[in-house]
Every structure is written in C-alpha cells, then in structure tokens.
Amino acid sequence: MQSKKEGYATCVYNEEHTMPESTLLWHYQRCPDSQRMKHLFKVCPYNTIHHIRYYEFEKHLQSCPDAPKIPQLNVGNDDPWG
C-alpha cells in the first residue's frame, strides 16, 4: 500500500484519486465515482469532508474529532453553579 503524502488526501470513492487536502470537498462534488456510489455513504454533520460508509456512520458520530464537546455533569456530585 502506498503511503499517504503529507498534505494530500485520497478520495473515499476511488483510492486512485489523490489530491491536495484543500481540494477534497471540491473533488467530492465533481467525482464521477461519488455520483455512482453516494447511496453507500453519508456525510458527517460536523465536517462535510467526512464521507463515511453508511454502516460505520453511527460509530463515526460517536468518535468524530469535529463533534462539539458537551461537558458531562455527574449529577449529585458536580455543582453546575460553581
């Protein structure tokens, strides 16, 4: 397997498509393979560059680094008012 060059990304719809990371979203909108295979993927609501296979989507939502961080209160032990 070819190592990924720093600053470059690979299309999830076709691994032969490699481009600078800054153009990945533009590529997804125009990639002919994405048009044929879009029913197999979902787009992350936290980062539109994350195109995830539908069966891995829930797992991705739980671990997405771009998801908003919501502090968890330990009811009974944490005083939310300080």
Instruction: Give which of 30, 34, 60 is closest to 45, Cα–Cα.
Output: 60
How does pLDDT run across 7-49, given as a tens digit for each residue?
Answer: 999 999 999 999 999 999 999 999 999 999 999 999 999 999 9
Other beta carbons less than 10 A from residue 75's beta carbon: 7
| DSSP conformational letter for 46 | S
In this prediction the pTM is: 0.73
H helix intervals, the chain: 24-30, 32-37, 57-63
Question: Which letter, b or e, does each residue of 43-74 get, where b requires 16 or more Cβ atoms within 10 Å of its Cβ?
Answer: ebeeeeebbbeeeeeeebeeeeeeeeeeeeee
